[in-house]
Chains A and B, each alone.
Chain A
């Protein structure tokens, strides 16, 4: 994917093969990958390269057929 970054260099953006918008943010010494929750990272990586690779891997993965969908996991831990 073609990544661009903002002027401050704290965020990177790319559009996936199906038009999905991906965003990477730096928070401290980690990099968050955002795709589903507007401003809340879905995954974290130790480096910008790892974050980009994660986003690109996810974007390249074929969609699961509906019969393989599973119920969404709980969002909180016990």
Chain B
């Protein structure tokens, strides 16, 4: 028997100016209900502001402001883990296909990998960051964000390249009527349904087979087996209170959501 897990929802809608892609959500960020919290997280958003991707000032949470400005957020794997080493190969492979489908569906102007090793999980080893020749995903240009510890002048130079690209190729657009966080088109639902059908007898966390006795509930409600469910309960402080919190307002939950089919709401 499995249960849904709590993660950060995808913030996507068609025609976004850019989409920031991480490897998977951090448990503290899931608990907070917002992407990229903390001081280093603020530096990430500061770089987006420096590149004219974000407005110079805003109120509230940075990811909310970014989304309102046409910047989306997602991850290759939606399962939160304390360490990236706990992300499994099968999850990466599955998530990469789903990410490609999401990007082809939503057609953002740019894909920003927030962490180089996230991109290396998809493209293999490559040198440098910024706009790396030969990298594209879902028919979209790819930018590799310099790491937080990179020298300030080096990072600033790379960010200037991003700013130039944004000014040229990613104009600010009118917000679409389809911009609600839960929006998914029929085409994307079809892709997800096909992938879920293909994997519905396996736990998406450990990829072990799920016993026949739990198959029905697994298929309908959950994608995690007993063992993984137990482990997942240990991460994410809001997990155990999910059922009661779901009845509360969206503001309380922030950007948290239940995870199905590797992070896409169903």
Chain A positions near chain B (C-beta within 8 angstroms): 11, 13, 19-21, 23, 25, 27-28, 30, 32, 34-41, 44, 71-72, 74-78
Contact = CB atoms under 8 A, between A and B. Distances in A.
A25 B28 contact: yes
B41 A76 contact: no
Contacts of B29: 39-40
B157 to A, nearest CB: 16
B120 A72 contact: yes
26 contacts: A21-B148, A23-B39, A25-B38, A27-B31, A27-B82, A30-B82, A35-B148, A36-B149, A37-B114, A37-B115, A37-B148, A38-B36, A38-B40, A38-B41, A39-B28, A39-B35, A39-B38, A40-B22, A41-B26, A41-B82, A72-B125, A75-B120, A76-B84, A76-B91, A77-B87, A78-B88
Contacts of B22: 40
Contact of B39 (A21, A27, A41, A77): A21
Contact of A76 (B38, B40, B92): B92
A56 B37 CA distance: 22
Interface in B15-32: 22-23, 26-29, 31
Given A27-B28, A39-B37, A76-B84, 20 more contacts: A11-B38, A13-B39, A21-B40, A23-B39, A35-B40, A37-B114, A37-B147, A37-B148, A38-B40, A38-B43, A38-B115, A39-B36, A39-B40, A41-B28, A41-B83, A72-B125, A75-B85, A76-B88, A77-B88, A78-B88
Nearest to A25: B28
A71 B116 CA distance: 13
Given A36-B148, A38-B115, A75-B84, A23 B120 contact: no
Interface string B64-85: 0000000000000000001111
B23 A75 contact: yes
B39 A76 contact: no
B104 interface: no
Contact of A75 (B26, B82, B87): B87
